[in-house]
Amino acid sequence: MTTPVDPTQIVIGAGEAFVDGVSVGPTEANNILTITPEWFTPQFNGIPGPVMGTDYVKKEMAELEMTLPEIGAANLALIHPNSSPATYVVSTPTTLAATSLVADKVVKVTSITGLTVGAPIDVGAPGSVEINYITSVGTAGAGGTGVGLLYPLGLSHPNGDAVSAPAATSISSLAGTSRRVALAAYHIWELRVPGLAGLLKSFVVRNAIQVDAIKFEAKDDGALAPKIKVQSRWDGSNSSVSPWNIYNIPAPA
């Protein structure tokens, strides 16, 4: 007897990931949804195994694993939920107000307009530019307190060399000031896998947060694409709402 096959119910492909309905861009490798219930089953004397009808769900969660090669500001904030994003604008171009020597960690500048603590900073003329990061912003001029740098300079730069802060984004940890993750860090993650005839398989993980270790691996034969694992949470105000759903969505009329 031949077994009939309905190809519209066969899911093939990695799909596309969304957060709060917005695509997070392409993914790499396999996208994996795991639903994990934890059971309690009593053991009765005289019965050699678990008894049907006595299984009790202690807890349940859903996890969605994926690898994200696009690590712009928005995805970085999702990857580390207890972090603070920052956006740095281009500073007003300025110059050194005094010669800077090798190993200096403070540079004197003619203007501090637009320079911000934490921002990257370029020091030096073309061909000898050093990338550094601002740790403090003092006062301008040769006699001012200058701009503090994260690293000591590796080169000497004469008075008048260019100094500028490029546009940049960053994230940094909040664990030193706040270990409680804000409610805004929880999101609805969704994996959509299109099928035949316009059908769609959708895997939704609600109130989810990234819980796994974050590893950035730079290599010559692949993208720097961190693998993440987002884990569902129950809504404390309404525990009747499932933290995960699997949808079979028909093609639009």
pTM of this prediction? 0.84
Helix (H) or strand (E) holding 33: strand 28-40
pLDDT in tens, the chain (253 residues): 788 998 888 888 899 999 999 999 989 999 999 999 999 999 999 999 999 999 999 999 999 999 999 988 888 888 898 888 888 999 989 999 999 999 999 999 999 999 999 999 999 999 999 999 999 999 999 999 999 999 999 999 999 999 999 999 898 998 999 999 999 999 999 999 988 888 889 999 999 999 999 899 999 998 999 999 999 999 999 999 999 999 998 877 6
User: Quick one: pLDDT at residue 101?
Assistant: 97
Q: What are phi and psi of 183, to 5 degrees?
A: -60, -30
pLDDT of residue 166: 94
Q: What pLDDT score does 77 carry? A: 87
pLDDT for 1: 73
Q: Return the domain boundaries, the chain.
A: 7-36+55-84+174-249, 90-166
Contacts of 139 (CB under 8 A, 6+ apart): 112, 145, 146
Phi-psi region of 197 (alpha: psi -120 to 50; beta: other; left: phi over 0): left
pLDDT number for residue 253: 64
pLDDT at position 250 is: 84
**For residue 197, what pLDDT is reported?**
82
For position 198, what pLDDT does the model report?
Answer: 83
Q: Considering the domain 7-36+55-84+174-249 in this protein, what is its CATH number?
A: 2.30.110
> Nearest 5 degrees, angle CA 131-CA 135-CA 140?
90
Sign of CA dihedral 234, 236, 238, 239: positive
